[in-house]
Amino acid sequence: MGDGHDSGKVLDIKTADVKSAAPVFKRQGKELSSALSELINTLDGLGEPWGEDAKKFGTEYLANARSMESSAGILVLGLVSVHEALSDMADGHVDNDEAIAGIFTRTKAAGPGKGGE
């Protein structure tokens, strides 16, 4: 999440970058879900194939189509979970920074010889 320059930091997380990236995954998940719904409805609306050769094709096709629909559904859930995970990670990073800052603030305020050693 850094700016591409080696600042000597091991980990440089910019919470603004993480928070701005999170909604992209949610939006893409919704778009994929809409496209998947449209595909399923369109294909289901075409009906069953006719003729013996078409029925053989239909048997294979339906199995593969259902597998593809299931896989795409998993992708939708994955995109949405990435959105949630990025949001949680950014919030956790901010909370962690505040906790660490609080530790150093208490230590500095106590000073040497006053419980801060």
- The model's pLDDT over 11-67, given as tens digits with 9 standing for 90+, comes to 666 777 778 888 888 899 899 999 999 988 888 887 776 677 777 777 788 888 888
Give, for 37, the enclosing helix (H) or strand (E). Answer: helix 15-45
pLDDT of residue 107: 57
- Pick the more confident residue, 103 or 24: 24
What is the reported pTM?
A: 0.55
CB 79, CB 29: distance < 8 Å: yes
Buried b (16+ CB within 10 A) or exposed e, 59-84: eeeeeeeeeeeeebeeebeebbebbe
The terminus-to-terminus CA distance of the chain in angstroms comes to 35
The domain 20-109: what is its CATH number? 1.10.287
Higher pLDDT, 12 or 72: 72
Task: Identify the residue with better confidence: 55 or 107.
Answer: 55
Instruction: Provide long-range contacts, Cβ within 8 A and 24+ apart, for 93-96.
Output: 93/13, 93/15, 93/18, 94/15
Where exactly are the structural domains of the chain? 20-109
For 83-106, what is the mean pLDDT? 75
